[in-house]
Amino acid sequence: MAATLTLGIIKPDAIASGKTGVIVAHLQQAGFVPRAARMVRLSRAEAGAFYAVHRGRPFYADLVEFMTSGPCLPVALERDDAVAHLRTVIGATDPAEAAPGTVRKLFAESKGKNAIHASDSVENAAREVAFFFTEGELAGLWGRE
């Protein structure tokens, strides 16, 4: 199957607790190749725009607050069927419900402070990768066999 991209974000809780390296290593061991990454401190406007799909949900304000509370690390990750595989590897939103061995079971504190984000569809992956990385940074990656 052709290699595809999805977006992961190592969230501020995992950065603050020193888990960045072990989480990236976990993703690599699961077959993902990081193709672009950048440590960023999101503004409220940026976090709000990124999570616009959740605007109006009860957790939206807390989500924006948390995602702007410290640096995070967006990573464009490549492998076959990347979106579905990353969702499996990170586990359920709530770490209490996440399967053993998943990133959230291993490293997340709570439903809000849940260590990592992953795109939830192929369409959203394209939008989310483009939100953080330019075409130039990703040149030649999309559609590679």
Residues that bind ligand CMP (CB under 6 A): 54, 59, 63, 93, 111-112, 114, 117
Residues 6+ apart with CB under 8 A from 99: 91, 92, 105
> How near is the Cβ of 136 to ligand CMP at its closest, in Å?
26
Six-digit token string for 128: 């989310």
> How near is the Cβ of 145 to ligand CMP at its closest, in Å?
29
Decide if 85 is catalytic: no
Residue 42 to residues 15, 47, 56, 88: CA-CA distances in angstroms? Answer: 14, 6, 20, 26
How many whole angstroms separate alpha carbon 138 and alpha carbon 30? 21
Closer by beta carbon to ligand CMP, 36 or else 72:
72
> How near is the Cβ of 55 to ligand CMP at its closest, in Å?
12
**Among all residues, which ones are annotated catalytic?**
117
